[in-house]
Amino acid sequence: MPGARKYQAVVIGASAGGTAALQKILPFLPANFPLPVIIAQHLHPLQDGAAIIHYAGGSALAVKDADEKEAIRAGFVYFAPPNYHLLVEDDRTFSLSVDAKVHFTRPSVDVLFESAADAYDAGLIGIVLSGANQDGAEGLLRIKQRGGLTIAQDPQDAEISYMPKSAIEIANPDYILAADAISKLLVELAARRAG
């Protein structure tokens, strides 16, 4: 049963419409949420940090851009900095890359998901939210192949359905849920992990 696993991290991919979905997830994670949350969201390359300030204002967790070589810790929501790919290394630290765009984007959800899947194996929860391309679908499949838990936002709940639809078609995720139900599931899984 997926809920019986011991999870170690959550990765989330979001693009167009993803801000609304994240607003239904991040504020509902409690201050003692035991898993780091790592997010690749497609933003304008010159984004000035307003998104971080916006999310931090509604979150009980610390919200920040991920830094090069930073150790990944519970109690934090980490965002890929604008115009950088964010990767998780085997020692559970971050690395940043300006390699070529993937699916015309940097940061790429696939890049984050695939590196995190290799680092956390079955200890990873992957979530694909609203968006207008198929970034994240192959990465979610990698998480599933590694034994992690996979979730896609219900396309009918997403502002832009293409990204979760692609994830559903390619990765056949364990759960297809509205954004508010995703937050409830994460809290439930974290409680089982602590129990």
44 tagged catalytic: no
Annotated catalytic residue, options 110, 135, 157, 174: 135
Task: Return the number of other C-beta atoms located less than 10 Å from residue 86's C-beta.
Answer: 27
What phi and psi values does residue 97 have, to the nearest 5 degrees? Answer: -140, 145
CB 24 within 8 A of CB 183: yes
115 neighbors 139 (Cβ within 8 angstroms): no
Q: Is 21 helix (H, G, I), strand (E, B) or coil?
A: helix
Residue 15 annotated to the active site: yes
Centre a 10 Å sphere on the Cβ of residue 193 and count the other Cβ atoms it contains. Answer: 16
Q: Which two tokens stand for residue 43?
A: 């933003």
Catalytic residue among 42, 108, 130, 166: 42
Is 135 known to be catalytic?
yes
Q: What are the catalytic residues?
A: 15, 42, 135
